[in-house]
Structure 1
Amino acid sequence: MSARVLITAGAGGIGCAMAEAFDVAGARVWIADVDRAALAACPGHWRQSVVDVADEASVAAWFGEIEEAWGGLDTLCSNAGIAGPTALVEDMPLEGWRACVSVNLDGAFLCARYAAPMLKRQGAGSIVITSSTAGQYGFPYRAPYAAAKWGVIGLAKTLAMELGPHGIRCNVICPGSVEGPRMEGVLAREAAAKGMSRDQVYAGYASGTSMGRFVEAADIANMAVFLGSDAARLVSGQVIAVDGHTVNPDPKV
């Protein structure tokens, strides 16, 4: 694979795992993130840019860099997202709602907006958007996150329809609960909101899947590599959960 791959939020977590997997597959990798320190810790042969996906000027500048350096791209992994506040809807602050939707949904839109002309010009390419199982089932105490993750599914299905005639595919990956620091923060906040222990919340999430476990970032990355490859040349407009099979999206502990 000699594809040119862009990955937002690529300096840590799922995004970094995606970068590693595409790198191993032989792709040229360009990661974007707001965390300068995390970017600096990534492999030096990955191209790196500081980008705020919720800021159009920042996104536009990044795609200008890409145009100048690479002349285009083959796969966009629109992965940037934040967890947002954890609260009942009546206690949800509007500023928290807006910030969460801005990064998760506006960010995916902006990256697609600037990637589409490049992909159309070459008549091929793939867009992979990271949603969540919260975008399939809803998520108590996480209204802005769930709303944004449902939103990116609608965006992706529309992109698949608009861009398909140009040879461009768009698909969605819906991770379940992914082991790592970000999920630990979610567990802590939800435990506090529900008056439960971290371990009780963890067990509830795990028991909500038929495989009884969390997934690893590498599991998500492997799916992204597949969706960006010629092996998935006729896979488009699909929403693919990598979650150990969610059987109860709101398990009670």
Structure 2
Amino acid sequence: MSMIERLQPPRGLRVLITAGASGIGAAITRAFLETGAKVLICDIDPAALSAFAEAHPDVMTLKADVSDEKEVDALLDAAAQQLGGLDVLVNNAGIAGPTGAIDEIPLEEIRRTIDVDLMGQFLVLRRAAALLRESDAGVIINISSVAGRLGYALRTPYSAAKWGIVGLTASLAKEMGPDGIRVNAILPGVVRGPRIEGVIRDRAEASGVSYAAMEAQYLANISLRRMVEPEDVAGTALFLCSPAGANISGQAISVCGNVENI
């Protein structure tokens, strides 16, 4: 096998991507479809699912909230039936959560962030594990964040959940390694798109500065002085599923332009 071939995932992989209809999830979905993978995506937004499916007729879709155990059960049942098994799980679903001081954030917003961003990954993993063990080369990619390696003032629920994903990944890599399953986390930085625009707007308001000033502050904390594109994260996901990534497991891989502070 040539090095170019080693850098490409095998064709025909059976892939499940949560929150795969927009943002980073959509970029990852498009990337796997380009490799000839069979892809099932879920999303909480039916309109986004419909629009993505119209643009990409080969994708399979299902509306699901990953924080809802029954909906996750239905999602994994669909994966078993529609994909015929599972080779790759991309645990991408997450929400930005609230911005504010710890003693001012409503408790229900803290719980919702943890339920979606961290507990949602547990719910999917506990049902996906058996399917992945039946694969010849199972791969799990958990999407965390640069907030999973750095403290993040005024964003404590989100950061706590993303740190939890890194611990989950390292532990699960040890647990499932003997089954031949590789488990890694990708930690995106400041990814261009509507979500980070909302985060910057809310943090600017909480800090009493303009949007432009807060955006400049974010960029100044990145060594490369630029935002990450969703396709950068997608490319890393493909690499982790390729033969070239066959001995990478238990890692938290930042795709962030070297964020030094957030």
Q: Is the 8 A contact 1:59 1:110 kept in 2?
A: yes
**d(CA) in 2 for partners of 1:65, 1:25:** 22
Distance 1:56 1:76 in 2: 17
Runs (4+) off by over 6 Å: none
- After the TM superposition, which residues 199-214 of structure 1 pair with which residues of structure 2 at under 5 Å, given as runs? 199-214=212-227
The within-5 A match list for 1:1-253 is: 1-42=11-52, 43-247=56-260, 249-250=261-262
1:195 partner letter: G
Counterpart amino acid of 1:131? S
% identical equivalent positions: 47
Partner Cα distance (1:125, 1:162) in 2:
13
Partners of 2:135 and 2:258 lie apart in 1 by 37
CA distances 1:27-69 after superposition (whole Å, capped 9, x unpaired): 1111110100000011221000101100111001111111122
- Paired with 1:45 and 1:123, the residues of 2 have a C-alpha distance of 24
**Cα offset, 1:244, TM superposition:** 0.3
Give structure 2 stretches of 5+ with no counterpart. 1-10
Amino acid at match of 2:208: G
Shift of 1:119: 1.1
Contact 1:126 1:170 in 2 (8 A): yes
Query: How far off is 1:110 after superposition?
Result: 0.9
1:11 & 1:69 partners in 2: Cα distance? Answer: 18
Shift of 1:123: 4.6
Q: What secondary structure sits across from 2:187 in the alignment?
A: strand
TM-score, normalized by length of structure 2?
Answer: 0.93
Q: Could you report, residue by residue, the CA deviation over 1:206-246 in whole angstroms, capped at 9, with x for unpaired residues? A: 11011011110000111011112222111000000000011
Structure 1 contact 128–228 (Cα < 8 Å) conserved: no
Letter in 1 for 2:35: A
- Using the size of structure 1 for normalisation, the TM-score is 0.96
My pick for the range that moved more, 199-208 or 114-123, is 114-123
Q: Which whole-Å CA distance do the structure 2 matches of 1:61 and 1:26 have between them? A: 25
Contact 2:146 2:188 in 1 (8 A): yes
| 2-structure distance, mates of 1:228, 1:218 | 15
Is the Cα contact below 8 Å between 1:123 and 1:166 reproduced in 2? no
Counterpart Cα distance in 1 of 2:22 and 2:246: 28
In the comparison of the two structures, how many residue pairs are matched?
Answer: 249
Gaps of 5+ in 1: none
Give, in angstroms, the shift of residue 24 of structure 1.
Answer: 1.1
- Please tell me whether the aligned partners of residues 160 and 237 of structure 1 are also in contact (alpha carbons under 8 angstroms): yes
